């Protein structure tokens, strides 16, 4: 089945490249006869999304400029070359050369250690994700990446709770049908009395509208994009967690590049992609909360920021979730407690108060 999927994706990639070539956009050589290396970048965001306009396109232009046109980047938005759930296999197999690979969608792969950042209330900003997880990968995952090479890591903005009725305390989650895309966070909500429901992002609006769920956990930037305020006009700003986003590139492609350009990718272009993501989600997060508040005001909706005492109640299951991650890591053959201890050490160095 995996072979069929890879072959099918390869066929799609070839078809898209062929179509682009017919339009005159593709080239294998420059006018002076020198070779051009083409990199297909898969982006899950829509063509008009801030991610495409602020991260993907500027990065493509930067790479082409800094290599003097020796590398041409073809940006494929709307996950045209493959979904995020198959990203690791797709990059490893060369279906496309580069893209994001969310560990939460690849828990049964060598990316599992990075799911440590899915633990609720530990990593709540892209800046912290980039700083902490870069060091974490360097210490524990140097030999993890073979067919796909790790280039950098960032994350989305933090997840909040969007609901059809106000949620002002952990007690208000009791018997709430609540959706989140990450298993660890669903476990936390379950501990708080909610009924966890797993849904794809594209199903959130309709599920809220039809009463399939009462509330969802999602990022402020993403929630506005999906217009969740129309069907869930209440936000509880808990800064639950972020979605980790490692940036990988096909190793064969990277090794095919001239030595100086390969070095540019490792030292400059890889980190640049993460920097652009961090800047986007950091600058957009606060503004997105304000945009949501303005949009729902006429409907009686609002943004609620829990007090410190109320947040303590939301965070009560966190220690248990940390222990559960360590136990799962040990079962998979990792040094779970050592990883968690180092992760906590990095977080505390960044000023994060880790729940005890």
pLDDT, residue 21, reads 36
Tell me whether residue 340 is in a domain. Answer: yes
Full residue range of the structural domain in which residue 136 is found: 2-155+242-284
Digit-coded pLDDT (tens) for 221-279: 888 888 999 999 999 999 999 999 999 999 999 999 999 999 999 999 999 999 999 99
Tell me whether residue 355 is in a domain. Answer: no
Q: Note whether 68 and 130 are same-domain residues.
A: yes
* Cβ-based neighbour number of residue 80 at 10 Å: 16
Domain of 273, CATH number, reads 3.40.190.170
Q: Note whether 228 and 248 are same-domain residues.
A: no
Tell me whether residue 356 is in a domain. Answer: no
Q: Note whether 149 and 115 are same-domain residues.
A: yes
Digit-coded pLDDT (tens) for 325-335: 999 999 999 99
Q: Provide, rounded to the nearest whole percent, the portion of the chain with pLDDT above 90.
A: 78
CA–CA gap between residue 266 and residue 269 (Å, rounded)? 7
CA–CA gap between residue 52 and residue 66 (Å, rounded)? 20
Tell me whether residue 198 is in a domain. Answer: yes
- Quickly state the pLDDT bin for 355 (edges 50, 70, 90): confident
Q: Note whether 142 and 196 are same-domain residues.
A: no
Q: Note whether 226 and 270 are same-domain residues.
A: no
Burial of 87 (0-12, 13-18, 19+ CB in 10 A): buried
Mean pLDDT over 138-157 rounds to 96
Tell me whether residue 72 is in a domain. Answer: yes
CA–CA gap between residue 9 and residue 11 (Å, rounded)? 5
Q: Note whether 113 and 164 are same-domain residues.
A: no
pLDDT, residue 185, reads 87
Q: Note whether 192 and 214 are same-domain residues.
A: yes
- Quickly state the pLDDT bin for 33 (edges 50, 70, 90): low
- Quickly state the pLDDT bin for 46 (edges 50, 70, 90): confident
Q: Note whether 196 and 249 are same-domain residues.
A: no
Domains contained in the chain, number: 2
Digit-coded pLDDT (tens) for 161-201: 999 999 999 999 999 999 987 877 889 999 999 999 988 77
- Range with top average pLDDT, 77-81, 218-222, 337-341: 337-341
Mean pLDDT of the chain: 90
The beta-strand segments (E) located in 83-187 are 98-100, 148-155, 159-163, 177-179
Tell me whether residue 259 is in a domain. Answer: yes
């Amino acid at each position: 089945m995996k072979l069929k999927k890879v072959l099918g994706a390869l066929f799609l990639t070839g078809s898209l490249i062929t179509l682009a070539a017919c339009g005159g956009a593709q080239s294998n050589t420059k006018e002076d006869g020198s070779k051009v290396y083409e990199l297909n970048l898969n982006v899950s965001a829509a063509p008009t999304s801030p991610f495409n306009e602020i991260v993907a396109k500027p990065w493509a232009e930067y790479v082409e400029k800094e290599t003097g046109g020796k590398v041409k980047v073809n940006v494929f938005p709307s996950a045209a070359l493959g979904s995020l759930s198959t990203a690791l296999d797709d990059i490893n197999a060369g279906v496309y050369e580069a893209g994001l690979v969310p560990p939460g969608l690849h828990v049964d792969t060598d990316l599992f250690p990075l799911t440590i950042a899915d633990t609720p209330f530990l990593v709540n900003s892209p800046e912290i994700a980039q700083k902490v997880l870069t060091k974490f990968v360097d210490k524990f995952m140097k030999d993890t990446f073979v067919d796909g090479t790790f280039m950098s890591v960032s994350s989305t903005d933090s997840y909040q709770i969007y609901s059809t009725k106000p949620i002002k305390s952990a007690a208000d989650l009791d018997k709430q049908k609540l959706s989140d895309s990450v298993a660890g966070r669903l476990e936390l909500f379950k501990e708080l009395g909610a009924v966890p429901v797993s849904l794809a992002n594209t199903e959130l609006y309709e599920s809220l509208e039809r009463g399939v769920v009462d509330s969802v956990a999602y990022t402020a930037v993403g929630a506005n994009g999906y217009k969740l305020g129309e069907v869930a006009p209440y936000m509880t700003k808990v800064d639950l967690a972020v979605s980790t986003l490692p940036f990988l590139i096909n190793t064969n492609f990277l090794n095919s590049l001239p030595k100086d350009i390969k070095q540019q990718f490792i030292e400059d272009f890889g980190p640049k992609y993460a920097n652009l993501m961090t800047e986007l989600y950091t600058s957009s997060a606060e503004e997105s909360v304000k945009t949501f508040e303005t949009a729902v005001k006429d409907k009686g909706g609002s943004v609620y920021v829990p007090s410190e005492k109320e947040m303590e109640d939301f965070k009560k299951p966190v220690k248990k979730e940390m222990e559960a991650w360590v136990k799962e890591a040990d079962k998979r053959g990792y040094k779970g407690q050592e990883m968690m201890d180092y992760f906590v050490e990095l977080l505390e160095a960044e000023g994060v108060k880790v729940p005890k």
